[in-house]
Amino acid sequence: KKLFRFAEQLRASGMSMSNNIAEGSGSHSKKEFKNFLNIARRSTFENANILILLGRRNLITSNQQDENLN
């Protein structure tokens, strides 16, 4: 159950990254595009944090964590 919640969060933030880049591609200004890229970047930090939590709770191996963080 716990792992499923983490998986859903990873899936959502992963989709957020690509969706914000795609949406930002249709921006009319560099400032607007930069904002979408910043949101996508923050989603990568969210993913990294989830992977760190999974590792600390021994829900993934250190090798799995390293592979996904690097």
Alpha helices per DSSP H over 1-70: 2-25, 30-56, 62-69
Per-domain residue ranges of the chain = 2-69
pLDDT tens digits along 9-56: 999 999 999 999 999 999 999 999 999 999 999 999 999 999 999 999
Whether the CB-CB separation of 43 and 23 falls below 8 Å is answered with no
* Angle, in degrees to the nearest 10, between helices 62-69 and 30-56: 170
The model's pTM is: 0.78
